[in-house]
Structure 1
């Protein structure tokens, strides 16, 4: 732990926003411009153990924030995802929590908005059912109340049955040539199950679609009234 007087502050050659701090003419630490500004370091300032600890903590907090921001630039993420990312990068629990809180205060992390956008996107692109969406959002650390609110979002313009049928119709040509009903329902039904649609929702859809592709085939023995 370097303790002594700051004898030089030099801008790094490869990054104009980072500076090398020298204590008693020896290199001590590299810090960001943000850290330099916040700590108000200057040549001649004496750093004791407490001052050094504060400097290190400030630099770690800035590094955590910058890495979190770069992650959010790539795509939106939940608070839990960003927290776990920072943990993997070796930041302390205190720094991780502090960073998440600050990002939430700035409006850059909002789990309610994230959940709504995730549901809308996955319904539109991946044709995911509610069971799958719940599981995906739980894995991302979204609170159950926020998950249910997202699933009830006013942005959703069709119900679960409609979404399941839309998902089935996008791949119907792939399964239309199935040799019999049992094969058809096993294959297309399995596809819908893997996308998180409930089995009791799937069955009448399969019957409807089978009647469309094989109108001559009588499925009344194993179909519900539709």
Structure 2
């Protein structure tokens, strides 16, 4: 094949080399030492970037741009595979990968369109989980949501949707567990427990009820233990 024929038909692909670290990405060569493209296999197939084929030089920036967007999207999907993420968390992750802002924006928009990312639903599920299993109050949960990039309004709506009874149960459970490790006279133990529950983000009315419940149960338990000792004698 002459240089004139190659120029008329485009760039002649002389080698297609699979990347060793990313098995679904390929380097495309057209006779030189440096690849003319480095793309995902989906684009390799779509544009028929195969050895012995021609590629129009004018298409190279178009293909590269599409690959950059595709790369941002696939990296985001892998990141989402471990656990749900907020838009902000995905954006920060992709920036650490040194991807362009337009490619990050494309990935986020596509993920939202496909309903893989939904910050409002994430906020609702996160709030329920943190209160139920981590025994944290709505005020702290709201802060945690905003730290994860959830808007103030969405965070507010998520914590407001939490059942008051569920949060009170969480406060009581946290208080009862903490009470067993507190030392000192009754007023001092109540003060320490109140401070502990405040740090966990519970509201004042819930704290008062949880402290009252923990102290009452703790006193009853102490009395039961003393009665048992007396019966053993």
Question: Does the pair score TM above 0.5?
Answer: yes
Rounded Cα–Cα distance in structure 1 between residues aligned with 2:78 and 2:191: 44
Q: Which residue of 1 aligns with 2:76?
A: 68
- Greater fraction helix: 2
Residue 98 of structure 1, CA deviation: 0.6
Is the deviation greater in 116-125 or in 12-21? Answer: 12-21
Rounded Cα–Cα distance in structure 2 between residues aligned with 1:121 and 1:208: 23
Q: Using structure 1 for the length normalisation, give the TM-score.
A: 0.80
Which of 179, 182, 186 is the equivalent residue of 2:184? Answer: 179
Residue 202 of structure 1 pairs with residue 207 of structure 2: yes
The number of equivalent residue pairs is 208
**Does the 8 A contact of 1:6 with 1:44 survive in 2?**
yes
Deviations 1:155-197 (A, max 9, x none): x47243333112212333222xx22134312332232122111
Cα RMSD of the aligned pairs, angstroms, is 2.5
Residue 193 of structure 1 pairs with residue 198 of structure 2: yes
Residue 94 of structure 1, CA deviation: 0.7
Is the deviation greater in 110-119 or in 201-210? Answer: 201-210
Rounded Cα–Cα distance in structure 1 between residues aligned with 2:134 and 2:104: 32
Sort the Cα spacing of 1:161 and 1:22 in 2 relative to 1 into closer, same or farther, 3 A. same
Q: Any residues of structure 2 matched to 1:43-192 within 5 Å, and which?
A: 43-48=53-58, 51-153=59-161, 156=163, 158-175=165-182, 178-192=183-197
**Does the 8 A contact of 1:168 with 1:188 survive in 2?**
yes
Is the deviation greater in 112-121 or in 29-38? Answer: 29-38
Q: Which residue of 2 aligns with 1:218?
A: none
Deviations 1:21-72 (A, max 9, x none): 0124443132111222344545212213xx3322221221122112111111
Listed as ranges, the gaps of 5+ residues in structure 1 are 216-226
**Does the 8 A contact of 1:35 with 1:62 survive in 2?**
no
Sort the Cα spacing of 1:125 and 1:6 in 2 relative to 1 into closer, same or farther, 3 A. farther
**Does the 8 A contact of 1:123 with 1:129 survive in 2?**
yes
